[in-house]
């Protein structure tokens, strides 16, 4: 008899399929500027360990590490488990010098999907997120990369009809853009959101209204310098001490507690850190702690 693995954080629906609410973001496994390369054997270990512990939602992109992340995922896990949701992102690419550039035109979105499929060795991606480049963080679209949302959605709908993607997601969008995209059928939204920065709260409210999965990036604060970090907030540190957990676990648990369709995709190249992330589903925040944490953003304003 096959043993049923416990879903870290419980489960929620993503594009109609149940996935663990704590998944894995692969970006940290690829080469990042200013950081030594991740040891390949260690990266493969982390991926296998995540799936062995019940993770069945992996977030990746061909432009993460110029294909390095997809290459690692394929080596570590192919042939993939039937219940594994591989989710990718399109809207950017690498130039000949290795820099990240916009790739927003419909034909570029299609090429990005095809590249992801080929690199992973699969026929369909569970979800493909369209990364809009209208606003920070990251690069911004300009010139012929200023493409209207409807044209992009039409291409993704065509790819979905062809069976190359299972569902459509959005990333880095406003509430108005999400509302505009709703008729196309949106499975999830990936926006920056955390305990110290809730600027995209109106997008989360719209996800709640339409039962759309919410996949926050920068869950512990922006990776860019000069921005507040969740783990440095006194209320977070105090809550962690009282619960006997880490401040990072408190910040992630707060996100899970605020919407039942929140899916976390924390990334790491450290097996021990992976274990800490997967245990977040067992962290229980009582109403007093949640009230204290809810007030953190207001204290930073």
Q: Indicate if 64 belongs to the active site.
A: yes
Tokens 């950081």 sit on residue? 35
Q: Which of 63, 64, 193, 254 is catalytic?
A: 64
Q: How far apart are CA 127 and CA 123, in angstroms?
A: 12
**Three-class DSSP category at 131:** strand
Where in the sequence numbering do the catalytic residues fall? 64
């Amino acid at each position: 008899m096959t043993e049923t693995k416990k879903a870290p954080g419980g489960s929620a629906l993503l594009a109609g399929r149940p996935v663990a609410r704590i998944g894995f973001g692969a970006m940290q496994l690829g080469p990042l500027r200013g950081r030594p390369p991740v040891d390949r054997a260690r990266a493969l270990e982390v991926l296998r360990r995540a799936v062995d512990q019940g993770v069945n939602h992996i977030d990746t992109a061909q432009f993460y590490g110029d294909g390095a992340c997809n290459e690692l995922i394929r080596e570590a896990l192919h042939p993939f488990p039937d219940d594994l949701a591989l989710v990718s992102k399109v809207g950017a690419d690498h130039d000949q010098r290795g820099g990240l550039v916009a790739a927003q035109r419909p034909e570029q979105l299609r090429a990005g999907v095809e590249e992801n499929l080929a690199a992973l060795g699969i026929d369909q991606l569970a979800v493909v997120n369209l990364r809009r480049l209208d606003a920070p963080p990251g690069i911004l679209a300009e010139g012929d990369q200023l493409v209207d949302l409807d044209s992009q959605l039409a291409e993704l709908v065509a790819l979905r009809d062809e069976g190359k993607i299972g569902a459509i997601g959005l990333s880095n969008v406003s509430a108005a853009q999400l509302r505009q995209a709703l008729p196309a059928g949106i499975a999830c939204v990936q926006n920056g959101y955390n305990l110290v920065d809730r600027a995209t709260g109106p997008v989360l409210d719209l996800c709640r209204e339409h039962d759309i999965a919410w996949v926050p990036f920068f869950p512990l604060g922006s990776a860019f310098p000069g921005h507040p970090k969740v783990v440095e907030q006194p209320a977070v540190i105090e809550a962690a001490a009282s619960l006997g957990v880490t401040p990072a676990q408190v910040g992630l648990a707060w996100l899970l507690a605020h919407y039942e369709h929140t899916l976390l995709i924390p990334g790491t190249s450290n097996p021990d850190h992976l274990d800490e992330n997967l245990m977040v589903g067992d962290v229980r925040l009582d109403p007093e702690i949640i009230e204290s944490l809810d007030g953190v953003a207001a204290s930073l304003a």
